[in-house]
Each structure stands twice: as structure tokens, then as C-alpha cells.
Chain A
Amino acid sequence: MGKRPLSFYKELFAKILFGIAASAAVFAVGLICVFLFSQGLPAMAEMGIWQFLTGTEWRPTWNPPLYGILPMIVGSLYVTAGAILFGVPIGIFAAVFMAEMCPKGVYRFLKPAINLLAGIPSVVFGYFGMVILVPFVRENFGGTGNSILTASILLGMMILPTVITISESAMRAVPRHIYEGAVALGASRERAVFFTILPAAKSGVMAAVVLGVGRAIGETMAVRMVAGNQAILRAPNEFLMGVRTMTSNVVLELGYAYGDHRAALIATGVVLFVFVMIINVLFSLLKKKEGAR
């Protein structure tokens, strides 16, 4: 081997160093998966995966204790569905406004406003929910106010910026000639936007909704502060009753749990993690579809 200049080794060293840095994300995901699954899965297997997932009783203090997380899985699904109900229609219409109808001068204020909404910490949302939304729901709809409905409204507010920002950029990416063609055929602006641009941006808008779902199902503090947190299986018509989600189950009890109880909480985290992974895969598939067009 011939003699290499010093700069060669310097370059090689730098490349290796940057390469190591690039591996950090891979390493982190690996570590998270290994530790969550290695601590959560055996616990699940010991209790019986089926009993764990479909058990309706969560009684960590009983002897013997019961760890069934169906109420929490269903609770997460309720508040997420509620968030979609409130957040998605408003979000998509608002995105249409931002992408197609907003005067430039107004846009300069609205865009930062929506970014601001995205930046509000979830404890602050939760706090707002506690002092404003909970009494509001209690006085207008009945119940204690700590309910599925309250959590749904709050989550709906929280996913708005996600839905708006991603749908807006999807609509902006639609080629202009689609709109022009519609207008040339005599369509009004509203008709052209809603019946040509919006359908053309379908997969991007769906990606926005899916990401919103991911936000809603993973949200912890705000939900924990307004949802009542009873680990009871609720029927859909009990939307004025309290509910516990998978996220709040962990946040409520992890601080003092030991042994099997802690393992059951980690297993709850694993189930949540699997839900979120499915949502993420769905999101990237939709984005790929949008990019391919």
C-alpha cells in the first residue's frame, strides 16, 4: 500500500464519524423496540395475551390482580374518533381556505397563527380544558364534565394544525391546470376547488387525517386532565361519562407501580406503540402514493 496523504485519513475519519451519527436514529429505534418489547411481551404472555387485550377489568390492587386493557383500548379509540369528528371537517375546510381562498395579506397572519396553535404545549391545552371545557360540558350537556365528549373536543382542537398544514400543502401541490380546466368549463371557484382540487389531493389529505389520528391516539397529558380516567368499558352512547385511554393508563400509574403491575403498564405501552406503528406505516404509504402522482 502506498503512502497516503494525511488529508486522506482526515477525510476518512470525518466520514466514519458522520456515519456513526447517522446510525444514531437507527440505534435509538432499535433500543426502544428491544426494551419495550422485552419487558412488555413476557408480561403479556404470562397473563395470557388474549386475556390482557380483551379483559374488561383493570384491578391492579386486587388479589389476584386483574390486568385487562380492553376498556383503555376502546377509550383511546373513542376519543380518537371524537377528535376526528370535530377536528377533521373543520381542518379540511380551513385548509381549503388557506390553500385556495385566502387573500395574501390575511395569509401572512393566519399561517403563523396556525403554527402557533401547533406549538402550544399539551399541558396548557389540558389546563385550558380543565378550567374551561370541563365546566362548559358539565353545564350544557350534563355529567361531571370529565368525559369522552370533553376529551374529543379538546383533541379535535389539538389536531387542527396538523390536519390544516398537511392538507394545505397537498392541495398546493395539485397542478394548476386541473383548476384552470374546471374554470374554463364554467365551474365556479368553489366548485373547481371542491370537485377537482380536493379530489386530486385526496391521498395527501388522507395522510393529514392519519397523522392527526396518530397525534390524537398518542396524546397523553391533555386527555388525562379532562377525560375522567375511569378504567371502565363504555358504550358509545355513554359519551358523557369518563374514560381512560392507553396513554393515561401509563401516566396515571407508572409512578408507583412495581412488579407485575409495572410490567402490565409497559405492555399497555407496547400495545399503544403497535397502534402508532400501524398508523405511521399507513401515513408513509399515503405519502408515497401522493408523491408518485
Chain B
Amino acid sequence: MKIIKTKKKPLDLILLLFTWLAIAATVAVLVMVVGYVLMNGVGYIRPSLFAWNFTTENQSLMPAIMGTLMIVGLALIVAVPLGVGSAIYLVEYARRGSIFVKIVRTMTETLAGIPSIVYGLFGFIFFGVFLGWGLSLLSGALTVTIMILPLIMRATEESLKSVPDSFREGSFGLGAGRLRTVGRIVLPAAMPGILGGVILAIGRIVGETAAIIFTLGNVARMPNNLFDTGRTLSAHMYALANEGTHPGEAHATAAVLLVVVILVNALASFVTKFIRGRA
């Protein structure tokens, strides 16, 4: 198609200029933040930063890394079955437009909009004080479980919906029940989207601070059991930045944290896209 060029008037040029400036500013923000954090931090990364035992001297990331892994693992154990199960119910079982579905949708949206400090506050009151678990792995993990639930639900719902109905009809036609159809046909086809959502949720947990420090706590030690306190990488970063006594380690920790989050998010979009492209 040939496009007829009209002569640009001053207003057009001004608007065009503004859009260019705006996108340039956006890219500049990204380059500044990522560039600064990486360039400043990489030089300070040294082996002692990953020493198994934390001392005030080495400010090792190890306890924080282990704490992060434990929180992520525990939260996923609870959140994935709940989130996926919930989405299966909404898409495969519930009647369309039923009141229950509407309520669940609204509540999920509500959860997604709650700021992380409110999650921290709730986790502190409920898991920490009311249930008496204090600052512990369990309090922290269950708090972030609620936080990532809407993320996993939405990702699963969307990928279940994108599975063509002909898959289901074919399976029913061969005599399979609903459960078998969901388990053998629909879920495998929807797997990439679900996996993408789960990885995105991991990124969210790794980057979370406000909900962590009042539930898991912020102590530089490796949690020994479910009721032990610890810290995550983000909480460690927060502590380092506030104390201000180890600027080098703070630079390095920021860089490590940023790289981890970037990699996790990249993996999420790669998984979603790669397998969607294949299907």
C-alpha cells in the first residue's frame, strides 16, 4: 500500500518530538538504573561475598541466597497447586458468569492491587502474632504465597483459555471424563503459559522486601527449620543500603540482585514465547 505523504505542520512536529523525547527518556531511565547498578557493582563482586559463613567483615550473600531459595520453594509448593487448581475450576468447571466466579475474579484483582507493605503488615499480625509463628520461614513463605496467588491464577487462566475447545471435544468424544481431559489434554497444552506465570512469580518474590522483613525477618543467618528467621537477597540489600557501612558490598549485592531478577524475568518470557511459537 502506498501512503500519501501530507506536509507536516508545526503541531505535528511538536507532537512527534514529544513522543520521541518520551520514549528516549524511558529508555534512558532503564539504561541509567541498570547501567549504573551493574557497572558499579560488578567490580566489587569477589569470592568472599559468597562465603558459606556470614561475618560482619565479608557480608556474605550466602545466607540471603539460601533464604531466598527456601522462601521461593515453600511459597511455590503452596501457591502453585492453589493457583492452578483455582484457575482450572474457573475455566473448566464453573458455569460461565456464575456469581462465585465473579466473586473470585474480584477478590483476585483485589489481591493483585494490595501494596506489599500491607501484606507485610498482615503477615506480621496474622502469622507472626496471632498464630505465634513470629519471624519465621513459614510466616514469610505463606505471606508471599498470598501475594503471588493472583499472578499464577491469571497466567494459568489465560493459558487454559487459549487451549482450543476442539481439544476438549476430541477428548470427550473418545469417552474421557472431565478430570482426565483436564489432566491429560488441557493442562499439558497450557503448560508453557503456566510455567511462564510461575517463573514470573519467582521474580516477584525475589524482588520483594516490604512483605519479607516483617514476616521472615532480616537476620543474616540460614534458617534451620520452618520456624527459624533469616533474610532474602532483597532484604539483605535493604539492610546494606541502610547501614551504609559496607558500600562496596552494597554495590555488589545490588548488581547480583538485579542480574538474578533480570534472568528470571527473561526466562519467563522465553518459556512463554518459545513454546507458544512451537505450538
Contact = CB atoms under 8 A, between A and B. Distances in A.
A and B bind: yes
Interface of A: 7, 10-11, 14-15, 17-26, 28-29, 31-32, 35-36, 39, 89-94, 96-98, 101-102, 110, 112-117, 119-128, 130-132, 157, 160, 164, 186-191, 193-194, 214, 217-221, 225, 247, 250-251, 254-255, 265-266, 269, 272-273, 276-277, 279-280, 283-284
Contacts of B111: 25, 28-29
Interface of B: 6, 8-9, 11-12, 15-16, 18-23, 25-27, 29-30, 32-34, 36-37, 40, 81-86, 88-90, 92-94, 100, 103-104, 106-111, 113-118, 120-122, 124-126, 130, 146, 149-150, 153, 177-179, 203, 206-210, 213-214, 234, 237-238, 241-242, 250, 254, 257-258, 261-262, 265-266, 269
B241 A123 contact: yes
Contact of A272 (B32, B100, B117, B130): B117
Contact of B23 (A24, A98, A124, A225): A98
B88 A128 contact: no
A11 B179 contact: yes
The 6 A-B pairs with the shortest beta carbon distances in the complex, nearest first, are A218-B115, A21-B85, A121-B207, A93-B22, A18-B89, A22-B89
Contacts of A120: 33-34, 207, 258, 261
A250 B19 CA distance: 39
Chain B interface, DSSP helix/strand/loop, else mixed: helix
B241 A255 contact: no
A152 to B, nearest CB: 14
Chain A interface, DSSP helix/strand/loop, else mixed: helix
Contacts of B33: 117, 120, 124-125, 128, 157
B237 A250 contact: no
A24 B89 CA distance: 12
A127 B237 contact: yes
